[in-house]
Amino acid sequence: MKKKIIILGSTGSIGKNTFKLIKKDKKNFDIKVLSTNKNIKLVIKQAKEFKVNHIIINDYNKFLQAKKKYNKYRINFYNSFDVLDKILKKKEIFYSMVSIVGIDGLNPTLKLIDKSKNIAVINKEALICGWGLLKKKLDRYNTNFIPVDSEHFSIFMMLQDSINIDIDEVILTASGGPFLKKKYKNFKSITINEALNHTNWKMGKKISIDSSTMMNKVFEVIEAKHIFNLTYKQIRILIHPKSYIHAIIKYTNGINKILAHDQDMKIPIYNSIYLSEKKKFFSKKLDLKVLNDLQLAHVDKKKFPLVQIIKLLPNYNSLYETAIVVINDFFVSKFLDNRISYFHMINMIKKYSFSKSILKLRSFKVKKVDDIYQIRNNVSLKLLKLEI
């Protein structure tokens, strides 16, 4: 019997890699639902290859366009993730990949938990803002959760046979992005193209900027804390320019584990799909040159001041995390629109993340999804009033 699969965000980088891996093993998989924001042409091509009957299109105009243009196909088009409750049964899906972007990814992630036996998530915002809600539902329906981000997947894999060993410290590695060797005094002249030019990974614009400022590491620290039930004092970031080592765990018994793999997101995706199977992934030979020259180093907090946000984080899932996601999204979008400089973007993200009105949100725990969306809307309205 074929395993039923769902890919939300199937036309993005992670979604496309997931689709490619499943396509190589087509006889064993049946894709039930695909989703895209605007890329109709690609999602239709994917649907035709696997005879998918359900497609969710986020953009309303593209949704209407698809319904009109492709009405001859036996495909049901939807403009809302709410439909997941209607078209899917509980525990019907073997594997769900959630690779959509933004806080709006939280609701569909929650909806898929009781429908899926295994759920792989790379939506940072869902894990950062709503982990408490996700964890509660994961436990309730006994759904296997698999983090797909390379750092968190590495920790996940290293912990599989470490049940009876206590963790002393978890180290997430960071490449340092395109400005690792750039002097701080020259940050005022950074261009959009320079900021998008990541040395190791080919990523979307938003995540590329977050990588260059190391805000992505702030988010990854929050994710690691939530997913693996750690404290922030147990998590550290080290610079590793080659992105070959993805995480290190130091145990209380004196043993250290290091996980390395090529700069290829297909590796964690592949292993999340075939987690309980012994299937070979054809990868490159061990890179001894990199292993003999890891260049691990501490983070320069003057050059990457946003990592200081970590010291402000409470040891529970609060509404502050939602606020800093919104603040970061807002100023990154202004930079990409060429409305503010790179240097100004960093300063504004830090200024508002450290502001008294935002810091007050640390006192409020996340109790329901509406709390998150309300804070998102409130902070967004406040930022939109700025004269930029």
Give the per-residue pLDDT at 185. 84
Q: Tokens representing 264?
A: 């290829």
Give the per-residue pLDDT at 160. 87
Give the per-residue pLDDT at 1. 86
Give the per-residue pLDDT at 57. 97
Model pTM score: 0.94
Give the per-residue pLDDT at 162. 74
Residues of the chain with pLDDT under 70: 164, 201
Instruction: Identify the structural domains of the chain with CATH numbers, from first to last.
Output: 3-147 (3.40.50.720), 149-313 (no CATH), 314-388 (no CATH)
